[in-house]
Chain A
């Protein structure tokens, strides 16, 4: 049971380049989330999904797009990267039941030059 995995672990981009971060979970969870973590700001929700084929905006969605074509995968895209998107990105998933415990991936450290 791998839990939540993220690909890649590290990436350096130049301003204006695009990339996709992949999140996969093997727990058959309905809900999936993308967060960014910046120093002194905790985790902020970018986008989330409550089931296959659905997506919704979180607290800081600008500059990002997401897709949930398969239940186990949640993709985060940056179409034109900016230095302000330098951050650590975490994916999480939950069953959506009871108290909504979320399980987190190991993170992707992205630097935009």
Chain B
């Protein structure tokens, strides 16, 4: 069945460092791909999305490109802030259901 694998955390960075969180997927066809973010004590919020191969989703300085050839959707940000500390989930759309990765906790230190 469809599945999502993302790098284990926690990822600890200093402010202004470059961020990459890896995400790969297994799916039949070409599903839509998502990154969701969960801030402490809150529900999940959509961060960005890509609906077809080579699409680049972007929001709040974060980017991810839908790579069909490597079945990947890695999340990147050029300069992280303390306020980016959260848990990040990669997900794919499978017949109107979302399949989530296990989440990666990011901690950004001042």
Contact = CB atoms under 8 A, between A and B. Distances in A.
Q: Do A and B make up one complex?
A: yes
Interface stretch (B13-21, B42-50, B67-75, B77-85): B42-50
A74 interface: no
A58 B103 CA distance: 19
Nearest to A41: B102
B93 A100 contact: yes
B97 A99 contact: no
Interface in A54-113: 58, 90, 92, 94, 96, 98-107
B43 A101 contact: no
Contact of B102 (A42, A45, A96, A107): A42
Interface of B is mostly: strand
Interface residues of B, number: 19
B51 A99 contact: yes
A104 B97 contact: no
Interface residues of A, number: 26
B32 interface: yes
B49 A45 contact: no
Interface string B52-79: 0000000000000000000000000000
A32 B82 CA distance: 33
Contacts of B36: 104
Given A90-B44, A104-B45, A106-B43, A99 B100 contact: no
Interface string A1-40: 0001000000000000000000000000001010000001
Interface of A: 4, 31, 33, 40-45, 48, 50, 58, 90, 92, 94, 96, 98-107
Task: Give me the 6 closest cross-chain CB pairs, A-B, nearest first.
Answer: A104-B43, A99-B32, A42-B100, A42-B102, A104-B44, A43-B100
25 contacts: A4-B43, A31-B96, A33-B97, A40-B102, A41-B102, A42-B102, A42-B103, A43-B89, A43-B98, A43-B100, A48-B97, A58-B97, A92-B98, A96-B96, A98-B51, A99-B49, A99-B93, A100-B32, A100-B98, A101-B46, A104-B36, A104-B43, A104-B44, A106-B42, A107-B42
